[in-house]
Chain A
Amino acid sequence: MTDSAKDVMTVSHDDKSDGAQTKMRSKRVRPYALTGGRTRTRHHLLVETLISVPEFDPVLAESLMPESRALYSRACQRMSIAELSANLDLPLGVIRVLVSDLAGQNAVFIHPTAYAYQNNPQVLERILDGLKQLPV
């Protein structure tokens, strides 16, 4: 287990996630077991946060659990947390934990969001310009 994983494990769960845990059933058991009950992650992973793989390492890929490996391959094409969740059919919370672990091993790169720039005016101006240039 990576250091980042241990860190996250020591963080206590909030009430909402505890409620979900006690009702864990059927399909839900697997993703939960997968993350060892970790529901908080160290990195700030928003649904729009982009993930990519700077340099695909087939040896590392082999060593990963199937879900992490699938995520690692998918992220070779820059992809958001939301799209990874939908494409891999895993809840957002699980994707966040898996991404966090991979990032802890420097296997994936977490791109900055506009929020990471505190939605500053320069970033917003670029977004506005981009919208104005869209073909109608």
Chain B
Amino acid sequence: MDSSSSPSDPGLLTISAKIVVAGGFGVGKTTLVNSVSEVRPLNTDAWMTEASEGVDDLPPGGGKSKTTVAMDFGRITLQPDLLLYLFGTPGQARFWFLWDDLSRGALGAVVLVDTNRIDQSFAAVNYFENDSVLPFIVAVNRFEGKPEHDLAEVREALALNEDVPLIECDARSRASAIDVLQGVVTHSLSLAKVSAPG
């Protein structure tokens, strides 16, 4: 740690943690983040201005290229000295490269799934199974007017490993969104205890 703290101020030291919210296009990521966040959505256009410059071509005529990638941002003050942040990126596959920076150091992730378009979340599941070390769970967003899902069928359709927790949620409900976050932390905790027994 850095040594520039003022030890005389006990309230100063604050731990921040992060959970990432992933999933395909339109599965309810933004809805879930905003259901629990204590702050209004942030304009995140500035975050990746350099990165997006690298992947986008100038429009014909030499005009200014302006890519806005609206990412999700949420904050929850758990204790005066303990903050939990939520980060999500849009579901389109062309934004996957953003995940590496945003998800580094996260305590875990949730992949949201819409059972109507289950294939939309294949890429996210693949990413967390193969290209990431983060613990993750999968949450089926219960869009209204739909029958309850058979989670065993969803697991099969996603070819989801037995040890990845699979739950249902309603992204519009604060209580349900909190349950999802608890599910992520509980899963991370169980893995942390396995890797560091005692």
Contact = CB atoms under 8 A, between A and B. Distances in A.
A78 B78 contact: no
Interface string B41-71: 0111111111101100010000011000000
A114 B107 contact: yes
Contacts of B193: 121
A116 to B, nearest CB: 7
Given A47-B102, A120-B196, A127 B85 contact: no
Given A47-B87, A48-B17, A127-B84, A109 B6 contact: yes
B28 to A, nearest CB: 19
A6 interface: no
A119 B42 CA distance: 26
Contacts of B54: 16, 19-20, 23
A12 interface: no
A117 B15 contact: yes
B78 A127 contact: yes
Interface residues of A, number: 64
B182 A131 contact: yes
A46 interface: yes
Contacts of A103: 2, 4
Interface in B151-198: 174-175, 178, 181-182, 185-186, 188-189, 192-193, 196
Interface in A63-109: 78, 80, 82-83, 85-86, 88-94, 103, 106-109
A36 interface: no
Counting chain B CB atoms within 10 Å of each CB, the highest count among A44, A50, A85, A134 belongs to: A134
B85 A123 contact: no
B42 A83 contact: yes
A54 B6 contact: yes
A113 B2 CA distance: 12
Counting chain A CB atoms within 10 Å of each CB, the highest count among B46, B54, B181 belongs to: B46
B84 to A, nearest CB: 6
A55 B104 contact: no
Contacts of B1: 110, 112, 116
The 8 closest A-B pairs by CB, nearest first: A130-B78, A115-B105, A114-B17, A106-B4, A54-B6, A20-B54, A48-B85, A48-B18
